Structure 1
Amino acid sequence: MTTDVSAKMQRDSEGRLRHLITLEGMSRDELTALLDLAQFYVRSPGDLPARDQTLSGHTVANLFFEPSTRTRVSFELAAQRLGADVVNLDMQTSSRVKGETVLDTIYTLQAMHADILIMRDAEPGLPAHVANFVAPNVCILNAGEAHLSHPTQGLLDALTIRQHKPDFSKLKVLIAGDISHSRVARSAWHALTTLGVGELRIAAPDDLMPKASEFAGAKRFDDIDKAIAGTDVIMALRIQRERMSSAQIPDEATYHRAFGITVDRLKKANQGAIVMHPGPMNRDVEIASSVADGPQSVIQQQVTNGVAVRMAVLATVVRNVQSRRKLK
């Protein structure tokens, strides 16, 4: 299923967001509204987290068919802080392992009155496919789809950037690493281009660069030193060890020397540039520990913002479904 179909699938008959499957096709006003609501839920370190009862009476089910720590836990906390009941399915021992289809799992959860289903899966198109079959009161949220999309990550990245550098039109943003296989990079591209980023750069070894038809408008680099020069935001992506051999990189040390974000390389960026990483990190591979833990790193702030963004998404889709019911 194409991303264009997914973009249409996620709206109700009135054009409101009912599911969140992709950031493609969303307007700047829609993204800004989600970021504004997420900012409302952000609290300073040491303060008690934001809470309300927007999801009181609702049941959220986390269906993670791939491993996850940050995304799964932040969705769980977000739902709990909005007053929902939360169920985490252990997919390694679920009925799917015994041969049950995904749709049968979904129908079972619906029968138990789970009405917000959060999905992560390696199969492209699965969230949109499931959205075709769920009951009218059920919302599907994409928590990571193959290499295609990770919309809440794109939103939390945009929120983190906005907190430090509010005028996107003046920014040069670099995304560096395994772009070809990265759902994070694709969702960040959708968010940043829609929000009007001044210049988006992508940098990767040749074999990890996406097709020419993808990432329209982004400037491409195979030299990290040239790519990082004059940037305001640097987002490093995790490089998987199995990808290095396909990119003709003999080992992690070689990748770090050729492409890692180091203290010396960071000096080439603009003064006050921020450094990001979606996690989990391979320290001293795609990013030096001294950079990840350094004064320009906002990596932990990204994690904090992840909960706020997911609260904003949950609250928005639930309110939209409730508005539709009132109209009827």
Structure 2
Amino acid sequence: MLARRNPQLNAHGELIHLLSTEGLPRDILTHILDTAAQFVSVSDREVKKVPLLRGKSVFNLFFENSTRTRTTFDIAATRLSADVYTLDIARSSTAKGESLLDTVANLSAMAADIFVVRHSESGAPYLLAQHVAPHVHVVNAGDGRHAHPTQGLLDMYTIRHYKKDFSNLTVAIVGDVLHSRVARSDIHALTTLGAAEVRVVGPRTLVPGDFGPMGVRVCHTLEEGIKDADVIIMLRLQNERMSGALLPSSQEFFKSFGLTPEKLRWAKPDAIVMHPGPINRGVEIDSHVVDGRQSVILPQVTFGIAVRMAVLSIVAGNEA
């Protein structure tokens, strides 16, 4: 029986869609990070454009709210000289009941080349990738609780920028891991890139034991989770995805798992602190940590532009 080909790759093993970090080989992840490194300096130029996607049309379809991801994709595509169209979902025909596939079919008829899709339903970008024409590419900007691959990649770029080598790193992912597509994308990328130890940290209601088979260590106290860590990735409480009372209160969560300057001392002195945003100060992280010397939260956003430029340029250069 033939092995099923990864839907993100063509027959030559080249990236044609970015749907998840899961299943992507190490050389492709490294290629994206290396390509992003070449784009970082574009932000410092007087003219912040390169012609790699000139004549291409990029459609941003965000069925969920977004600030950083949508804006950085807009900037990334514009800096690659693409024609960028961001659909106003609330005023589009989807509000009249048009299906996702019909929406994309109609936009494809307008000569779309790349769809950047954020959707509340896990698997929506995979569905689109199965139905678009061979020359059209799909980039997942977050689907339900499943994956957020470009956030995972910009996190990997940030870690590599400050720590250079993954093989000696202990990385702690803290907070609402259960509902976090970022956590899943980070875990798959970290394990593929060879991180020494990956920990998921939080209360039992938000960090289920089934993360163990993914090759990570599950910790239910913050001290155990971040002790001697090199990298701490904090996650926000995703109340919009929770059903039922998973926590007594946000105040109780902060008391046990909120990262403060005092608790940060459990990690290594040169540990970096990350957060995908939006940040809830005083819930998962103290303002003194957000604005402190070990925080690399704002550089993450800056690196996100270069990483998304890399992804868009790579998929656009490959044929199905």
TM-score bin, normalised by smaller chain? over 0.9
Paired with 1:316 and 1:187, the residues of 2 have a C-alpha distance of: 19
Q: Which residue of 1 aligns with 2:245?
A: 246
Paired with 2:42 and 2:49, the residues of 1 have a C-alpha distance of: 14
Q: Does 1:170 align with 2:168?
A: yes
Task: Give 1:124 shift.
Answer: 1.3
Paired with 2:291 and 2:113, the residues of 1 have a C-alpha distance of: 39
Relative distance call for 1:124 and 1:244 in structure 2 (3 A) is closer
Task: Give 1:12 shift.
Answer: 1.8
Task: Give 1:211 shift.
Answer: 4.6
Correspondence 1:1-328 to 2 at 5 A: 8-43=6-41, 48=46, 50-212=48-210, 216-241=214-239, 243=242, 246-249=245-248, 251-321=249-319
Relative distance call for 1:275 and 1:31 in structure 2 (3 A) is same
Task: Give 1:216 shift.
Answer: 1.5
Aligned length: 317
Task: Give 1:170 shift.
Answer: 0.7
Paired with 2:48 and 2:142, the residues of 1 have a C-alpha distance of: 25
Task: Give 1:246 shift.
Answer: 2.3
Identity among equivalent pairs (%): 48
Relative distance call for 1:211 and 1:123 in structure 2 (3 A) is farther
Would you say the 8 A contact 2:228–2:266 is kept in 1?
yes
Taking only aligned residues, the RMSD between alpha carbons, in angstroms, comes to 1.8
Would you say the 8 A contact 1:203–1:227 is kept in 2?
yes
3-state SS in 1 of match to 2:93:
coil
Task: Give 1:114 shift.
Answer: 1.1
Paired with 2:223 and 2:16, the residues of 1 have a C-alpha distance of: 43
Letter in 2 for 1:137: H
Would you say the 8 A contact 1:119–1:140 is kept in 2?
yes
Relative distance call for 1:44 and 1:10 in structure 2 (3 A) is closer
Relative distance call for 1:279 and 1:215 in structure 2 (3 A) is farther
3-state SS in 2 of match to 1:24:
coil
> How big is each residue's C-alpha offset from its partner over 1:103-159, in whole Å with a ceiling of 9 and x where there is no partner?
111011111101100000011111111111111110000000111100000100000
Task: Give 1:213 shift.
Answer: 5.4
Calculate the TM-score normalised by the size of structure 2: 0.95
Paired with 2:102 and 2:212, the residues of 1 have a C-alpha distance of: 35
3-state SS in 1 of match to 2:6:
helix
Would you say the 8 A contact 2:179–2:238 is kept in 1?
no
> How big is each residue's C-alpha offset from its partner over 1:13-40, in whole Å with a ceiling of 9 and x where there is no partner?
3221111001111111111110011011
Would you say the 8 A contact 1:41–1:50 is kept in 2?
no
Paired with 1:133 and 1:115, the residues of 2 have a C-alpha distance of: 13
Paired with 2:259 and 2:47, the residues of 1 have a C-alpha distance of: 32
Would you say the 8 A contact 2:42–2:48 is kept in 1?
no
Task: Give 1:245 shift.
Answer: 6.0
3-state SS in 2 of match to 1:43:
helix
Tell me which moved more, 232-241 or 289-298. Answer: 232-241
Task: Give 1:214 shift.
Answer: 5.9
Letter in 1 for 2:172: L
Paired with 1:254 and 1:47, the residues of 2 have a C-alpha distance of: 47
Relative distance call for 1:291 and 1:215 in structure 2 (3 A) is farther
Would you say the 8 A contact 2:212–2:218 is kept in 1?
no
Paired with 2:92 and 2:208, the residues of 1 have a C-alpha distance of: 35
